[in-house]
Each structure stands twice: as C-alpha cells, then as structure tokens.
Amino acid sequence: MAFRQKHLLGIEPLHPEEIKTVLDVADRYVELNRQANKHSDALKGLTQINMFFENSTRTQASFELAGKRLGADVMNMAMQASSIKKGETLIDTALTLNAMHPDLLVVRHPHSGAVDLLSQKVNCAVLNAGDGRHEHPTQALLDALTIRRAKGRLHRLNIAICGDIAHSRVARSNLILLGKMENRVRLVGPPTLVPEQFREFGCEIYDDMREGLKDVDVVMMLRLQKERMDGGFIPSEREYFYRYGLDAEKLAHAKPDAIVMHPGPMNRGVEIDGTIADDINRSVIQEQVEMGVAVRMAAMDLLAQNLRASRETSDQGVMV
Amino acid sequence: MTIFTNARLINPETLTDDLGWLRMEGNVIAETGTGTPPRGESIDCGGKCLAPGIVDLGVKVSEPGERHKESFASAGRAAAAGGVTTMITRPDTQSAIDTPEVLEFVRRRATEDAIVKVKHMAALTKGRAGREMVEIGFMLDAGAVAFTDCDHVVEDTKVLQRALTYARSCGALVIGHPQDPGLSKGAAVTSGKFATLRGLPAVSPMAERMGLDRDLALIEMTGVRYHFDQLTTARALPALERAKHNGLDVTAGVSIHHLTLNDLDVGDYRTFFKVKPPLRSEDDRLAMVEGVASGLIDVISSMHTPQDEESKRLPFEEAASGAVALETLLPAALRLYHSGQLSLPQLFRAMALNPATRMGLASGRLSEGAPADLVLFDADAPFVLDRFKLRSKSKNTPFDGARMQGKVIGTWVEGLRVFEG
C-alpha cells in the first residue's frame, strides 16, 4: 500500500502499511545522507516554509536540512517574534502564507489541534512538527526507524515509555504508532505525570520504575517538560531522579540488549544519568537524530509526490 | 377571544398530553377543555402540540458591550422562532450588569427592542470579580429576578457567605455555577480517553461535585434560596438529592447541550462544541436525562451564548466557550422525546413551568388566568439545520447540518402572535 495522505498531521490517521512505507523510504535516505554527495532532487522547485510558533532548535534544523537536501527552497519563520504579537490570528497568518504559494508547510504550535486547523485553510501539504500535547508524528516515525534498525523488527517488542507522559506529544504519537505496529507499550512514571486514562489505549501503567523496566527491549525516556507545567507535579528534581531517573541500576532490570532512547533535549541528572546517555552500547540517542533527518526527507518526499499528483489532475493547479 | 381547537395540549402541571382546545381571552388563558370547543374565532391546530411558551433561564444577550454578537432585537426574534416567550438574561456582559443604572439600561433596551418578554438577572459581586457584593436591595427594586456571577465562581468563601447571607435577608434568589475553580482552571474538555488522545487540558468531572458540595454547605449555613445553573455529571446528583431531601431551598438546571451531546462530539477540535462546563461522557449525559425525567433536575436551559466567528476560529484551547441555542432548544429537546426518554409534559415542566415558578413568574402553564404565552409546534416535522438561517446574530451552533425534528408553527406572547412559521 502506498502513502495516501495529503498532510502529515499525526500518527492516528496513518495505516500501518503507510508507516512502513515512510520507514522504507527513510531507510534509503539514511544511505544517501551517509554519502559524500547528499543531494537529491525530490523537492526541486518546491517551496518549504517552516513556521514555528514555539521554540525549537533541533526539529527546525532537522526539517530545514531535510528540505535542503531534497532540493526545496526552504524558508524559516520565527512566529513568536512576528505577526501574532501584532494580534493576527492563526487563520489569517495561514491565509497570508497561502497566498505566497508554498508547497510544504512545517508547523509547530503550542496548542493541540492548531496544526489541523491551519491545514484546513491552505492549499499545500502540511506537516505537524508538534502541536501542544497532541502529536509529534515525525518524532514517532524516527523513533520507529531507530528501533527497527537496532532491533531488526518493529513488532512484538516490549517498550517502556518513561517520565512526563502527560505533557508529551512525543509519548502520544509513539504509543499510537507502537500500538498500530503490535508492540506492548508500558508507561512508567509518577501518577501525576501518567494519567490513568492511558490504560484505555491498551498500555500498562507502572509507577515503580524497576517493575516497569523489567524485561523490556526498548527504554524511551522523555524530557520533563518544565515549560508546560504550572507547578506541583513532582516534589523536586532530585527526588524525581532518584525514583524515575534512568541509571545503570534501574536499566539492569531491562533486557541485557535493551536500547535507550531520548527525544532530546536531555536534562542530564533529572530524567537520565549522563553515563547512560553516552554509553554507545546502550544509547541510540545520536542515531535518533540521524534518523530524524532521513524520516523527514521521506515524509516530505511522499507528501510532495501526492501533491504533484493531485495538482496534475486539477485544472486550477491547486489541490482539490 | 381566540380558541385554539384540535390541539395536543401539553400541560406540565398535570403532566398530561391530550387532544383538546384552549380559549384565550385578551392576554390570558381563559379556559381549556377536551370536549367540543366553544364557538368563536378559532385557530385549528391540526392535532399539533400547544404548550406554554418556553421560559429560558440563562440567555446571554450581548448588550451592553458586544451588540455585534447579539442584540435584544435579534435575540428576541430568535426566541420567538424557537418558542421561547420569556428570556431570563445573564449579567455576564461587558461590562457586567452590577449596578441599578446598568440594569435600568438593559431593561429599557429590552422593552424597546425585544418581541418576547425579558427578565434580567444581575451579578452577585461587582464586576463578577468575587470580592464585593452588588447592591442587592437596589437591584431587586430595579427588577433583578436573580443574582449570579455566571461561570465566574466566587472563590473566597467568606465573600460568598456574606453575599448569600445578605441575599437571604432580601429574599433574593442566587444562582451559582458548581465548579471547583482550582481543578477546572485552564480546562477545555472533560478528562477521559478522548481528552487524552487529543492532548487537550482537561478537568475531572469531580470538580463539579466539589463545587456543589461547597455551595451546599454555604446554603445550609445561610438558608439562602439557591439555584445551580448547570449540573452535568452523574456524581453530583446524589448530593443534590440529599440536599433537596433535607429541605434546603435548592433547584438545579442543565443545558440542552449537556442533555443531547457528549465529549466525543468535539471530534477534530470543533470549537462550536466548546461549552462551559465542557461536554461530558455519555454516561453523564444519560444520568442528566434521567435526572430531568425524575424531576431531580428542575430546569432545562439553552445557555444561549453568542460568539462571533473570530472568537471560535481559533485553536481549541484559545477559542471562546458557548453556543447559541434559542432556536435549537426545542428541536434538540425533542430528540429526547423521540428517543422515548422524556414525555412532552416532562420537557415543558423543565423548560417552562419550573423556571417560571422559580423566578416567581405566572407563565409557564396552561391554567386559567395564566398569561397567554404559548407555542404551537409540530413535534415531528423534520429539517436539516443551516446555521446561517438562524436569527441570532451569531451562528455558533453545534447543530449545524444536524437532522432535527420539531418546527415551531406559532408563538404568542400575552395573546399577541410574535412568530408565524
């Protein structure tokens, strides 16, 4: 099955075969990215605009690099500094940009659902680079690719997602994706940060980290999202590290070949011990960054193919 | 003198629904019966339903301050078209209705422009800020029928206790919004699987019971007459039942949206479904319907809240709350009739008789001497709602495109026909 989506707004709308398609294409881009000549013409002539309504260094750089390697004209807009400060609404911003005929819009926004809203108002492909606490699909896809390459498969694995689940769009996208690919997902963390409702998604919930990590194949750590907290979720960072920080002793409960992941940026000494993060035998954190560029290239390539196909069938030259 | 013949008389006092006739003399109902109607000028109702006009407790007309969202003229037309003959308006305007002078202004505007009856509620505290009580005595003299800070919960219990004590001494009715302000802060939806999936800030349904429990304690302490504007969760009902059983002077309402929609209706962040309190689970909805059927919940309101497109075309968290409902209250309520959950007299007990009684109005009934505020409607007529055909200035209805049943044929206010469908 090919990739049929017009936008990449989340993992939820994707069929497992579509996820597989993205990962297969991304595998090819991993190879390309390791060549001396990293250039392809997949997005030649297309304009990619990165709109980040929320601070980001890594994701924005990754999308920018992905676009440039595929030959797109890439523009970054730092939206916090711009028109919203002057009172423009999200939809007006979208309409203004739409008038400039972009082909790919990469959007990050602090509110859940904002990227969906924007996608309804524009004639181009929209990629969600993170909306509030809702979804961050390319992060889940790059995590999936990292797991598939490290473990040789992306099904029937025991995966623990640990830490601040409540505020994390990464956790949501990941647990939806891993569920679709038929893995067993456990959520580990203090009950203030792991809402009970996640049980209804078929996850097991642990508030004891050692129990939660027992015999897992993959340990995904999440960043404590201090900027999304309005206080009082945990008593202190040192107690959090003591009970839920990943160190060698807790990791010993996982399978001996378990890999350690983190979407970055890390708070060393808060959710993860520095020596674990740097252990090249266990940590795949650097690979995740590498896979990020490849997955974003794959996603934009596939969306651009659909965009071109739909424009060919339409008289006006816009999507129908 | 006019005689309505061949009508299904929906009588909320006797809870009957019989074919009969009604004689109107001037501006009052003179007589009803089931046999051969008296002679005289008559309107053949063709077997359709004739009920007391709806008394809608908690309508927001956006005067003063936001007349572009809704005026007394547009709200009046919407009300008449929806079978609402009395609007009891909320004080959560810009600025709040918290002085006799502002109350005087809205009363004059309503008298000039609205084609249905309008009664006004006033704020309980100045600016609805929860710090100082308003001039309850003066406002009562100026015509306020109740005092409420609407969705602003008075957080300081000492302030609330004093306001309730003072209100009791004046005999005033106070209306509260049962909600724990801390738990519900910043929430856009009800917590649950759906909220978790959508990543929206959520409030536990328990926040409503906590607010209810606190207010009940203060009601017991002060002896004030009190009405809860909206109860929406199953867990709040036993506490209400106990309070009523123990003889506290309390009543409670529910909005039509909480009776007919649930949290899943928000779907892909549809902001027209954002209301306050947020839509609840299906179990909660069914419990509220049962509450209305048993009479534990006294009042069904539209909670008509006009919002312009700009305040709704925003990311869900940022979008304004509220929905217009004057025109959709009746057809939405009829969904519960067609589903067999509530009878028509039960519906009109909650939409007309109870709110009128609680507000000290003589309307809301079909009995002799009551004002001739009437609605004639076809409970079965189907239609698809087009929000741009609504008479409200604002078109923010969650029922856009919905298949509904129930069309108003005519609305009479004190014997005068104000709507012809």
Burial A279-289 (b: 16+ CB within 10 A, else e): eeebbbbebbb
Residue A8 belongs to a domain = no
- Angstrom distance (rounded) from CA A168 to CA A157: 22
Do the Cβ atoms of A89 and B193 come within 8 Å? no
* CA B183 – CA B194 distance, rounded (Å): 18
Whether B273 is covered by a domain: the verdict is yes
Q: Which residues of B touch A (CB under 8 A)?
A: 186, 191-193, 195-200, 268-269, 310, 313-318
Shortest distance, CA B193 to any CA of chain A (angstroms): 5
Is residue A320 one of the residues assigned to a domain? no
C-alpha B384, offset from chain centre: 23
Does A223 lie in the same domain as A143?
A: yes
Q: Considering the domain boundaries, does residue A254 fall inside one? A: yes
Q: B178 preceded by cis ω (within 30°)?
A: no
Both A131 and A52 in a single domain? yes
For residue A183, being part of any structural domain is answered with: yes
Burial class (CB in 10 A: 0-12, 13-18, 19+), A256: exposed
pTM of the model: 0.89
- From the list A90, A131, A200, the residue facing B193 with the nearest CB is A200
pLDDT at B172 over 70: yes
User: How confident is the model at residue A320, as a pLDDT?
Assistant: 42
**Do A141 and A284 reside in the same domain of the chain?**
yes
Nearest CB partner across the interface for A117, out of B192, B200, B315: B315
Annotated binding-site residues of A for L-aspartate read 86, 169, 223
What CATH number has the domain bearing residue A76? 3.40.50.1370
pLDDT, mean of residues B333-361: 98
Closest residue to A113, CB basis, from B192, B196, B269: B269
- Asked if the structure places residue A156 within a domain, the reply is yes
Contact between B338 and B286 (Cβ < 8 Å): no
Residue B82 in domain:
yes
In a domain? residue B93: yes
Co-location of A254 and A112 in the same domain: no
Q: What pLDDT score was predicted for residue A235?
A: 87
A161 neighbors A218 (Cβ within 8 angstroms): no
Nearest to B227 by CA among B294, B171, B298, B276: B298
Q: Residue ranges of A for the binding site? A: 58-59, 86, 108, 136, 139, 169, 223, 264-265
Prior bond of B95 cis (ω within 30°)? yes
* Residue A302: both structure tokens together: 């596939």
pLDDT confidence of residue A315: 55
Residue B319 lies in a domain: yes
Closest partner CB to B199 (pick from A117, A133, A230): A133
Write down the pLDDT at residue A173: 97
How many structural domains compose chain B? 1
- Residue B37 resides in a domain: no
Specify whether A122 is located in the same domain as A252.
no
Asked whether residue B11 is domain-assigned, the answer is no
ipTM of the prediction: 0.81
- Which tokens is B412 given? 């009479």
Residues A100 and A169 in one domain: no
Q: How far apart are CA A235 and CA A241, in angstroms?
A: 11
Residues A153 and A130 in one domain: no
Strand partners, B371: B28
Query: Do both A129 and A227 map to the same domain?
Result: no
Provide the annotated binding site of A for carbamoyl phosphate: 58-59, 108, 136, 139, 264-265
Q: What is the spatial distance between Cα B282 and Cα B305, in angstroms, rounded to a whole number? A: 23
In chain A, the number of structural domains is 2
CA angle (B415, B420, B421) in 5-degree steps: 140
Q: Which domain covers residue A91, as residue numbers?
A: 39-135
Low-confidence ranges of chain A (pLDDT < 50): 317, 319-320
Contact yes or no for B199 and A131 at CB 8 A: yes
Residues A205, A252 share a domain: yes
What gap in Å lies between CA A157 and CA A153, rounded to an integer? Answer: 8
How far apart are the C-alpha atoms of B112 and B119, rounded to whole Å? 14
Per residue in B181-231, pLDDT (tens digit) is 999 999 999 999 889 989 999 999 999 999 999 999 999 999 999 999 999
* Amino acid at site A178: L
Band of pLDDT at residue B241, cut at 50, 70 and 90: very high
Domain at B88, CATH number:
3.20.20.140
Cβ-proximal residues to A214 (8 Å cutoff; 6+ apart), any chain: A253, A254
CB A289 within 8 A of CB A145: no
Query: Which residue of chain B comes nearest to A109, CA vs CA?
Result: B315
* Domain around B240: 53-363
DSSP calls for A195-247: -GGGGGGT-EEESSHHHHHTT-SEEEE----GGG--S-SSS-HHHHHHHHSB-
Same domain? A108 vs A182? no
Per the DSSP assignment, residues forming a β-bridge with A108 are: A52
pLDDT in tens, A81-93: 665 666 678 888 8
Is the bond leading into B205 cis (omega within 30 degrees of zero)?
Answer: no
Residue A152 CB-density burial (10 A; 0-12 exposed, 13-18 middle, 19+ buried)? exposed
Does B341 score more than 50 pLDDT?
A: yes
Encode pLDDT of B350-381 as tens digits: 999 999 999 999 999 999 999 999 999 999 99
Mutate to test the interface with B, among A109, A161, A197 (most CBs of B within 10 A): A197
Q: What is the DSSP letter of A91?
A: H
Q: Kindly state whether residue A10 falls inside one of the protein's structural domains.
A: no
CA-nearest of B293, B168, B310, B151 to B230 is B151
Interchain proximity A112–B193, CB inside 8 Å: no
For residue A112, give both structure tokens.
């859940």
Q: Are A109 and A215 in the same domain?
A: no
Among the listed residues B307, B400, B257, B266, the one whose alpha carbon sits nearest the alpha carbon of residue A134: B266
Average pLDDT over every residue of B241-250: 97
Distance CA A55, CA A66 (A): 19
pLDDT at B404: 97
Whether A297 is covered by a domain: the verdict is: no
- A164 and A257 assigned to the same domain: yes
